[in-house]
Structure 1
Amino acid sequence: MLTQSPAWQALAAHAEDFRATHLRELFAGDRARFDHFSLRHGKLLLDFSKQRISQQTLSLLHDLATSANLAGWIKCLRSGEAINHTEQRAVRHMDLRDGDAAPPEVKAVLRRMADFCDAVHSGQWRGFSGEYITDVVNLGIGGSDLGPRMVVQALSAHQLPDLNVHFVSNLDGADLAATLAGLNPRTTLFIVASKTFTTLETLTNARTARDWLLAAAGQTSGAVAKHFVAASTNLEATRNFGIDDANVFEFWDWVGGRFSLWSAIGLPIALAIGYRSFKELLAGAHDLDKHFVSAPFAENLPLTLALLTLWNTDFLKAASHGIFPYSQSLSLLPRYLQQLEMESNGKYYDRDGRHIDVATSPIIWGEAGTNGQHSFFQLLHQGGQPIPSDFIALGKSDYPLHGHHTALLANCLAQSAALAFGQSAEEARANGIPEHLLPYRTFPGNQPSTTLVLGELTPYTLGQLIALYEHKVFCLGVLWGLNSFDQWGVELGKVLASRLIPVVRGEADDHELDSSTAGLITHLRQFRMS
């Protein structure tokens, strides 16, 4: 078992001796702690000096990475071996952003994406009425939605002025209806993002969107082909839907959904910010790829993030991990990372089918600063449970308004410091706090955090940031001995939902249902669902 390895046992013994050590002690004992516990890659800074670790902790964590053969697994990943063993698939998302070294099939799709973006932006591509396209709606869910949606919002300062890009993912009709209400069918283009072109949520929304279009187009020949394109591998299904084969952008089974924004799934990104900027996004990720596969363990940013998460989760017993970007543009990043980390590593069987005897992925959650400070930071300061966090800050604002960014940065730095060091009763007295209020005005501190600083938010630096977290997820999968690239829990839910749809509609009965589900269906049928 994982916990019986010598490297794990050494960490466990160290954790017992180290657990009571406070961050105040660590900083008092090393005035150069920032220098000793921070890493740089170009203009990217990773400060993990506020993590509850020592040099010995770090050394033992590196020993664990060595014993897990992380270097060997990185080679397997890079060489295209089928490391997704339950589906017999390679994991090759790095090939999508490999520049001149990318596989020919990747280059071919990227060229088609570039030509398509040019046709839409130049006005060569027009709707059934001959009008220019003004709005693009991406219909997808999960990895076909979260990544592109997050990137488009993050790079809103770089968005081209001639197109508005929207995202619809939820099966709830409120999502699609509210989006369509503000659009003109004559000038709207839909991207249907589904590898198999069978995803329930996406295809339901796509059919409704097609009906909305045809209600306006009437008998116009080829209207669907002028307003729908797809990112898919199922040409027969896209053809039956009415999408021209020339407007189906391929990607491959070695592209996992939550790692797919670099592929044809990124078409809405390229339309929003322009294909040149999309290539910069790929280039930034490629730069971090090169760092990850070549940097020694002690200098490797993704590995460092992974080791800190493992230490906090399994040795300091932290059940959740906060992501706090001090950038409104990155406000969707926590949501994106929820899928990337929890869908990848929220598993308890290892590669050999054995039960993993420790916690794996922590619960990922978060909010943009400073909003989170006025919401849940109270729990971080005085809630009495360990909650590690990542603070993400920008050196320069993407929307510079006088006085805003310096105040934002000050809040970011103040919160990470307050969480680390707290306020003792003696300090509260010195600050004039009355004795009867001391219990309420003391803060234990010792909450670990990492601060990640990007010089500015550009397509290139965002590519670096996303790839950094992708590789962190891979490292954690190796360290825990699990497959980070399947998602059978998601598949189970799909199977059950498809079985229940006709039952909920009243078109079939299922006598094997549990009493709760059966009772709920009976109650819901009175509302005449469609």
Structure 2
Amino acid sequence: MAVTCNEAWEKITLHQDPSLKELFADDPERVEKLSARLELTRGDVATGILFDWSKTHLTDDLLSDFEELALACGFDDMREKLFAGEVVNPTEGRAAEHSALRGVGKESSVEEADALRERMRLMVGAMHEGAFGEIKHLIHIGIGGSALGPALAVDALARDLPVVDVHVVSNIDGVALEEAFEACDPATTFIAVASKTFTTIETMTNAQSALKWLADSGVEDSTGRVIALTAAPEKAVEWGVDETRILPFAESVGGRYSLWSSIGFPVAIAVGWEDFQAILDGAARVDEHFRDTDGRKNLPLRAAFADLYYSRIKGAQTRAVFAYDERLRLLPDYLQQLEMESNGKSVTVEGHPTEPTAPITWGGVGTDAQHAVFQLLHQGTHLIPVDFIASVEAGDTLDAAHHHILLMNCFAQGAALMAGKSSDDPHRNYPGDRPSATILVDDLDATTFGALVAFHEHRTFANAVLMNINPFDQFGVELGKEIAKKIEAGGERFDPSTEALLKAAGVS
């Protein structure tokens, strides 16, 4: 007789709690069971990613019970709906077809994505070949997923002589936009305006200021320098963008899942089309793995099992991500939005109160973080699962000692968190038994980058399904926007603190 979700959760709560040291001692095959490589290719070149979850408290029995939970919660059905392009966002009645942008999904959606991608490929090729004049700089203006994904990808992959110098601006604070202006020559600069609705106030305000900067600098047709990236092309035309310079994307693509659409235009401009296609191919390989692999062998689902064990069963309120690679310094920021905007919910799909959902995602870059926050990880009172991410191949051409020391520190931290060190001096006692996972790419290139991001997308979705929440809406971001509009309109009173702040700032 099949169990319900609640019954499956109850079984999971009854598990014993052996230490990590005990788990390794009791099972000599533990590393083999909880580590797996995802093989990737780029042309004739083989590469891959190692996912090691052996330093978490997952066990054979616990994994079996989580597999039962997945079955009880209808994981297979929801996964099938995701890739079939059916409604998986019930509050808005939408599909979530980011995988179709990578070629894995409903046939008609894949065909539409192919056509839109070909339009973007032609645009990128024309700009690189000089059809729009000399272009040395692109200022990409967006916010949220329209900025975080491109910023991460450009920073990770375009450090060595980018085809075009790209600056991503999201903050409405004019200091951010002025910084981009200072770095660019208006005579050779284009503007990309990324907004799903083409009405986002921060983005459109920044875009107007960018047009003024171009005009004030002597550019005669400033609007002609704009490329619009949007799901509302008619709004872009109304705003003044030539329809030939609009790169649309589907309404079924959410902002934080939009890197693969025309929102990835600045990435393709910076790194070239071949690398952008490799990003999509790496992500598609993860899509296929996630779609076709069941149970504990499914890597994003296995990661979700561990995530939920710590957040729901052990009460962990945060999860830390440390990239031991300077090129991935923006990854924690990207994952914050992906995970917290997706799964930061307090009700189930049916609208009922739920148990704890997404933990707070935070992190930094190794080895900097070791001298800032690792004190708390090793000796603090909070349980904080940690993900370490690193590359076997170095991203620099300096003495190999640099990368050797980097990796040595990365692996040492995971070992130290698990092992701890006892001491009669309580100030020098390390309790250990603190969980971590390690993601090790052979080399951080376009293919492994795409796979890495897609892995986290599917991990987020798997978590949501097992918690019975909707990861694809984000109504929580709207209330503050509504109040900001009321302040701008005037004539409405607020709480005494807000009124005092408005008066102090001269806003009221």
TM-score category by the smaller chain? Answer: over 0.9
Query: Retained in 2: the 8 A contact 1:342–1:361?
Result: yes
Which residue type is aligned with residue 514 of structure 1? D
Question: Does residue 1:414 correspond to 2:436, yes or no?
Answer: no
Q: Deviations over 1:280-319 (max 9, x none)?
A: 1000000100000001212100001111100010111110
Q: Deviations over 1:386-427 (max 9, x none)?
A: 1001111111112242211111111000000000110012xx
Partner of 2:471: 484
Given candidates 73, 80, 100, the residue that maps to 1:75 is 80
Given candidates 444, 469, 472, the residue that maps to 1:457 is 444
Q: Deviations over 1:424-447 (max 9, x none)?
A: 12xxxxxxxxx6xx2222100111
Deviation at 1:489, TM superposition (A): 0.4
Deviation at 1:144, TM superposition (A): 0.2
Which residue type is aligned with residue 75 of structure 1? E
The percentage of aligned residue pairs carrying the same residue is 40
Question: Does residue 1:322 correspond to 2:324, yes or no?
Answer: no
Query: Retained in 1: the 8 A contact 2:4–2:73?
Result: no
Which residue type is aligned with residue 258 of structure 2? S
Q: 1:112-511, aligned counterparts within 5 Å?
A: 112-126=119-133, 132-157=134-159, 160-217=161-218, 220=220, 222-225=221-224, 227-356=225-354, 358-402=355-399, 403-425=401-423, 438-502=425-489, 508-511=490-493
Structure 1 unaligned runs (5+)? Answer: 127-131, 426-434, 503-507
- Distance in 1, matches of 2:22 and 2:104, equals 47
Deviation at 1:84, TM superposition (A): 0.6
Deviation at 1:4, TM superposition (A): 7.1
Q: CA 1:112–1:4 in 2, change beyond 3 Å: closer, same or farther? A: closer
Which residue type is aligned with residue 142 of structure 1? G
Q: CA 1:515–1:90 in 2, change beyond 3 Å: closer, same or farther? A: same
- Distance in 1, matches of 2:421 and 2:246, equals 59
Given candidates 497, 522, 528, the residue that maps to 2:503 is 522
Partner of 1:103: 110
Query: Retained in 1: the 8 A contact 2:154–2:267?
Result: yes
Which residue type is aligned with residue 177 of structure 2? L
Alpha-carbon RMSD across the aligned residues, in angstroms, is: 1.7
Which residue type is aligned with residue 385 of structure 1? H
Q: Deviations over 1:360-402 (max 9, x none)?
A: 0000000011111011000000002110011111111122422
Partner of 1:32: 29
Deviation at 1:23, TM superposition (A): 1.3
Deviation at 1:241, TM superposition (A): 2.9
Deviation at 1:240, TM superposition (A): 3.4
Point out the more displaced range, 145-154 or 176-185: 176-185
Query: Retained in 1: the 8 A contact 2:163–2:269?
Result: no
Which residue type is aligned with residue 32 of structure 2? D
Deviation at 1:325, TM superposition (A): 1.1
- Distance in 2, matches of 1:510 and 1:518, equals 10
Partner of 2:58: 53
Query: Retained in 1: the 8 A contact 2:163–2:272?
Result: no
User: What SS does the corresponding residue of 1:279 show, helix, strand or coil?
Assistant: helix
Q: Deviations over 1:89-137 (max 9, x none)?
A: 11111100107966332122211211111122122212xxxxx111001
What TM-score do the two structures reach when normalised by structure 2? 0.94
Q: CA 1:256–1:161 in 2, change beyond 3 Å: closer, same or farther? A: closer
Deviation at 1:186, TM superposition (A): 1.0
Deviation at 1:3, TM superposition (A): 9.5
Q: Bigger radius of gyration, 1 or 2? A: 1
User: What SS does the corresponding residue of 1:103 show, helix, strand or coil?
Assistant: helix
Q: Deviations over 1:144-194 (max 9, x none)?
A: 00001001111135x554410001000111110121123221111000000
Q: CA 1:76–1:236 in 2, change beyond 3 Å: closer, same or farther? A: closer
Q: Deviations over 1:195-239 (max 9, x none)?
A: 111001100100011111111236x3x3321x1111013334322
Structure 1 stretches (4+) deviating beyond 4 angstroms? 99-102
Q: Deviations over 1:336-358 (max 9, x none)?
A: 000000000000111111111x1
Query: Retained in 1: the 8 A contact 2:387–2:436?
Result: yes
User: What SS does the corresponding residue of 1:475 show, helix, strand or coil?
Assistant: helix
Q: Deviations over 1:221-267 (max 9, x none)?
A: x3321x11110133343223331101011012100000000000000
Query: Retained in 2: the 8 A contact 1:288–1:468?
Result: yes
What TM-score do the two structures reach when normalised by structure 1? 0.90
Question: Does residue 1:44 correspond to 2:65, yes or no?
Answer: no
User: What SS does the corresponding residue of 1:217 show, helix, strand or coil?
Assistant: coil
Partner of 1:429: none
Partner of 2:44: none
- Distance in 1, matches of 2:195 and 2:118, equals 20
- Distance in 2, matches of 1:151 and 1:292, equals 22
Query: Retained in 2: the 8 A contact 1:135–1:165?
Result: yes
- Distance in 1, matches of 2:497 and 2:185, equals 44
Partner of 2:20: 23
Deviation at 1:36, TM superposition (A): 2.2
- Distance in 2, matches of 1:110 and 1:217, equals 33
- Distance in 2, matches of 1:300 and 1:162, equals 37
- Distance in 2, matches of 1:278 and 1:217, equals 33
Point out the more displaced range, 82-91 or 33-42: 33-42
Q: CA 1:119–1:160 in 2, change beyond 3 Å: closer, same or farther? A: farther
- Distance in 2, matches of 1:386 and 1:316, equals 8
Point out the more displaced range, 94-103 or 414-423: 94-103
User: What SS does the corresponding residue of 1:145 show, helix, strand or coil?
Assistant: helix
Which residue type is aligned with residue 135 of structure 1? H
Which residue type is aligned with residue 71 of structure 1? D
Structure 2 unaligned runs (5+)? Answer: 40-47
The number of residue pairs the alignment matches comes to 495
Which residue type is aligned with residue 118 of structure 1? G
Query: Retained in 1: the 8 A contact 2:233–2:248?
Result: no
Question: Does residue 1:10 correspond to 2:17, yes or no?
Answer: no
Deviation at 1:69, TM superposition (A): 1.2
Query: Retained in 2: the 8 A contact 1:99–1:283?
Result: no
- Distance in 2, matches of 1:174 and 1:149, equals 17
- Distance in 2, matches of 1:441 and 1:249, equals 58
Deviation at 1:271, TM superposition (A): 0.3
Query: Retained in 2: the 8 A contact 1:224–1:242?
Result: yes
